[in-house]
């Protein structure tokens, strides 16, 4: 048996209301004001380094095999190899730019003599006075972050304290207005000195003189990396404690938004209007009696 007209109208109205109100677009953290998405990687493809980056190798300790991607993380390894050490460094010349905002979630290894570094280095290797760096070390109960910032005229250095051995969200913001570092949404450094050189971004782990008690091999792990390019408007305010949503890519421009919601509303309203009109016709038209009542 088919449902009655009022029942069909009720169901139609329920569908219309559900379409408009019960299925909103997924909420996403917006891009910071003054910045345009440039590069994103959540390290979900095992064995594949970001396309804009390379594993650095030299004739001393840095080796390509010490830079890997597995289990959704970038891993920079430090291990002993005979009487020497093998270490990892990832360089991203493909995201070189003048000014930039870099957000990443990372955990550094614990142990005396291990140094985990976040690098901003000039494309012109001779311009060493344009280099900036965040260096994280852990020793016993003492964690330190050393921030050096070069602007081409000199380099300033600041020491930060805190618990850096756990997972944290770091943001390095390099804009015409200044150089800033935040940890979990809290600003830890603000420096008005700014380099104007073209610089690349990267990560590295190195060994100074690890103590015999330092457990090796060790890893500097990065969970995701987001890079923004500066746009010529006011720089962003300090980021909130909540990091941007990670899904392996930035939201493409021109995606679903208020325009799509508006058309859904128009379609639902039209459906409701048609249902009400059908109800009026059903209630007002003459009804023929069933055959058993006809004479």
More confident position, 80 or 18: 80
More confident position, 38 or 289: 38
60-77: pLDDT as tens digits: 899 999 999 999 999 999
212-244: pLDDT as tens digits: 777 889 999 999 999 999 997 644 455 444 444
For the ranges 45-49, 83-87, 106-110, 129-133, the lowest mean pLDDT is seen at 83-87
Please provide the average confidence, as pLDDT, over all residues in the chain: 77
Mean local confidence (pLDDT), 121-135: 94
Can you tell me the distance from the alpha carbon of 204 to that of 118, in angstroms, rounded to the nearest whole number? Answer: 7
Sorting pLDDT into bands at 50, 70 and 90, what band is 159?
very high
Angle at 186 between CA 185 and CA 188, to 5 degrees: 130
Burial of 155 (0-12, 13-18, 19+ CB in 10 A): middle
State the pLDDT at residue 49.
Answer: 96
For the ranges 92-106, 160-174, 276-290, the lowest mean pLDDT is seen at 276-290
Q: Kindly state the percentage of the chain with pLDDT values over 90.
A: 54
Sorting pLDDT into bands at 50, 70 and 90, what band is 30?
low
176-204: pLDDT as tens digits: 999 999 999 999 999 999 999 999 999 99
Taking a C-beta distance cutoff of 8 angstroms, is the pair 114, 218 a contact?
yes
Is the pLDDT at 138 greater than 90? The verdict is no
- Dig out the tokens for 78 from the structure: 């430090």
State the pLDDT at residue 21.
Answer: 33
Sorting pLDDT into bands at 50, 70 and 90, what band is 273?
low
Can you tell me the distance from the alpha carbon of 222 to that of 202, in angstroms, rounded to the nearest whole number? Answer: 11
Residue length, the chain? 295
Angle at 58 between CA 53 and CA 64, to 5 degrees: 50
Which pTM value belongs to this model? 0.69
- Dig out the tokens for 287 from the structure: 């009804």
HSE (CB half, 13 Å, CA atoms) of 2?
5
């Amino acid at each position: 048996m088919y449902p009655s007209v009022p029942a069909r109208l009720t169901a139609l109205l329920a569908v219309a209301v559900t379409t408009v109100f019960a299925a909103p677009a997924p909420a996403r953290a917006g891009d910071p004001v003054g910045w345009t998405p440039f590069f994103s990687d959540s390290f979900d493809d095992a064995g594949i380094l970001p396309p804009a980056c390379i594993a650095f190798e030299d004739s001393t300790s840095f080796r390509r095999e010490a830079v890997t991607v597995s289990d959704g993380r970038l891993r920079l390894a430090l291990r002993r190899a005979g009487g020497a050490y093998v270490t990892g460094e990832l360089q991203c010349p493909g995201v070189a730019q003048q000014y930039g905002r870099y957000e990443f979630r990372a955990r550094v290894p614990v142990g005396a003599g291990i140094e985990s570094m976040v690098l901003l280095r000039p494309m012109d290797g001779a311009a060493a006075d344009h280099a900036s760096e965040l260096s994280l070390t852990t020793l016993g109960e003492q964690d330190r972050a050393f921030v050096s910032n070069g602007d081409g005229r000199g380099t300033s250095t600041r020491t930060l304290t805190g618990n850096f051995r756990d997972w944290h969200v770091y943001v390095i913001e390099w804009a015409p207005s200044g150089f800033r570092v935040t940890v979990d949404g809290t600003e830890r450094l603000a420096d008005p000195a700014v380099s104007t050189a073209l610089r690349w971004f990267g990560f590295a782990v190195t060994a100074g003189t690890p103590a015999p008690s330092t457990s090796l091999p060790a890893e500097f792990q990065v969970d995701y990396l987001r890079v923004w390019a500066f746009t010529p408007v006011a720089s962003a305010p300090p980021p909130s404690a909540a990091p941007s949503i990670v899904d392996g890519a930035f939201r493409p421009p021109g995606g679903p938004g208020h325009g799509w919601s508006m058309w859904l509303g128009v379609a639902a309203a039209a459906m409701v209007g048609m249902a009400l009109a059908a109800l009026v016709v059903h209630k007002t038209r003459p009804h023929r009696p069933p055959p058993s009542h006809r004479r």
